[in-house]
Amino acid sequence: MTNEQGRSLPFDINSLPWVGCSCGGKIFDSGVMVKKVSALLSPSGREEIIPADVIICKSCGKIPSFYADKIPGIPEEIVSTPSKLVTFNGSTN
């Protein structure tokens, strides 16, 4: 198996489990959250917006916990719970 750059991968990607949201959803969409930097903290001296890409479960509309756990400060009310990693075959890790 090779990746998009044509390099050999050290594993067979077909043998890896699909990951699902804790709600059971398995299809995700992308979204962007933004943080605001005040003019006092910004190097430009102007208020700035910093974008952060996130994935959103199409079933529950929330950020899967396996993804949110890697981004500090995500508000709990937009994170899917319980905090379990659900694989496509139904097992949890």
Residue 9 resides in a domain:
no
Total number of domains constituting the chain: 1
pLDDT digit string (tens) for 4-50? Answer: 556 787 888 888 899 999 999 999 999 999 999 999 999 999 999 99
pLDDT digit string (tens) for 50-72? Answer: 999 999 999 999 999 999 989 88
Residue 25 resides in a domain:
yes
Residue 29 resides in a domain:
yes
Give the residue numbers spanning the domain of 49.
17-87
Residue 64 resides in a domain:
yes
- CA neighbor of 25 nearest in space, from 70, 67, 56, 53: 56
Coil, helix or strand for 15?
helix
Residue 2 resides in a domain:
no
Asked if 66 and 72 touch (Cβ cutoff 8 Å), the reply is no
Tokens of 20: 């699902």
